[in-house]
Amino acid sequence: MSQIVPSHTMNYLSNLPGIKQQNDGVSTGSRWIKGGGGTLESFSPVDGQVIGSVTMASRRDYDEVVRQAQNAFNDWRLWPAPKRGEIVRQVGEALRVHKPALGQLVSYEMGKSLQEGLGEVQEMIDICDFAVGLSRQLHGLTMHSERPAHRMYEQWHPLGIVGIISAFNFPVAVWSWNAMLAWVCGDVCIWKPSEKTPLCAVACQHIVADIFNKNNVPEGVSTLVIGGRETGEWMANDSRVPLVSATGSTRMGKAVGAAVGARLGRALLELGGNNAIIISKDADLDIAILGSVFGAVGTAGQRCTTTRRLVINEEIYEQVKQKLISAYGQLRIGDPLDEKNHVGPLIDKDAVKQYMQAIEDCKREGGKFIVEGGVLNGDGYESGCYVKPCIAEAKPEFKIVQHETFAPILYLLKYSSIDEAIAIQNGVPQGLSSAIMTLNLREAEKFLSQAGSDCGIANVNIGTSGAEIGGAFGGEKETGGGRESGSDAWKNYMRRQTNTINYSTQLPLAQGIKFNV
């Protein structure tokens, strides 16, 4: 693995509207508030430099944002859905204009490769396009009534305020998955971004505010509160927020789910993943190796859909192992804004500590590393956040294999039958994404059947990452059960109402009940 040195420390703020070195971190839309909750500095894991600072919300600031959002909802819900969709269309067009600068900021503040930073902004554009079409398709059903001269149907109404808690690894895309759908549904949004990537959120809020101002969108439809764990707790416990959509660790999701559930609110949870690819002896190994390597090292292993386990048929195990060793030897680690590099840094030094601890835990349980890990030092690695993607031979029952480590560590596991492979794939607490590499139709169909993968996403001959916005995204078990983005995920942001209309001169009662007065 060659060491590539970051060649610059750049200010990516100047090409984005309204962004500066010192930023207000509370916004009701076009109005920015200097938060009373202290100052948060954003450090780039690329070079360890401070990019800028943001003021955080106090409880008073948070309550002001909620009040503004409540007022905005009363107006916004009355806008026709296609008109709301037109606003989202314009947001998509603005994102196209700002894609290069915003993609660079995502890459620099979070540490993912420039290609992935630009790809994340493209996901935002794609969900805008999807939401625009959806704005004319918020349909219900009609049903036959058992009573004569009655019509029965269902319709969908907006919920109100949608609280969005997003994670650092996708600092803008996951917010957009929620916000664009919520807006066309008639909801208003309060965004609490990760405190590790606040500037990306500030940039998005400025882009959206410009479009909203031009179209006289009510102040408070798009709001922002930057803060730490306490801010998320305010939102989770706030009965004024009927839906909280939270992305992050399983530990965080359990706390949010418990708080929201205690007040009988709704929680949409997108939590940890521990994703596996089954590599069959009937696999196209060129595709299998490419999908496995990208899935394992993309975003430096910091995706919820990262490939963390390879379940390999024993007949081809040694062959696959050698191909992986060769592929890892060609990885270039360094400045993610240099498109020649494949792997950037971890988000911070705490993530590096967790990575190193996982390596030690794996060795302690008997794991054998065929590609060694470690922290990179020297020129270009001054931030202390660059690590080596590594591969370990392990066993399914290892505690560390059962655990999600947000870092580029890949575990190799053997199997002899397809039933054993599926059991290994399913034998972890998480249930987000899964894949099988095979040209055997029976294996592929079994993997997708009721007896197959227990994950929310199951792929054949593609990896575990790279989900398209057209399909509902989410997982089962400790992944939280939430669904975002495509398909009918829009129903999460609305409430269902059943309506019955009597157009007769009589009042027949249901089930033929007779009631005389």
Torsion of CA 449, 453, 455, 456, to 10 degrees: -30
Pairing between β-strand 476-477 and β-strand 430-431 as defined by DSSP bridges: antiparallel
Residue 381, helix vs strand vs coil: coil
270 tagged catalytic: yes
Q: Which helix (H) or strand (E) holds 419?
A: helix 418-426
Q: One-letter amino acid identity for 330?
A: Q
Residue 265, helix vs strand vs coil: coil
Nearest by Cα to 192 from 184, 183, 201, 200: 201
d(CA 422, CA 23): 49
Could you list the beta-strand ranges (E) of 135-292. 142-143, 150-158, 161-165, 188-192, 222-225, 243-247, 266-270, 275-279
Of 189, 204, 304, 455, the catalytic one is 304
Nearest by Cα to 230 from 35, 504, 366, 391: 35
Nearest by Cα to 266 from 389, 158, 361: 158
The count of other CB atoms within 10 Å of the CB of residue 510 is: 10
Q: Please report, for residues 24, 91, 179, 238, 400, the alpha-carbon distance to residue 63 in angstroms, rounded to integers and kept in the order given.
A: 16, 27, 20, 10, 42
Residue 400: CA count within 13 A, CB half-sphere: 25
Contact 109, 23 (CB under 8 A): no
Of 195, 270, 404, 478, the catalytic one is 270
Task: Show which residues are catalytic.
Answer: 270, 304
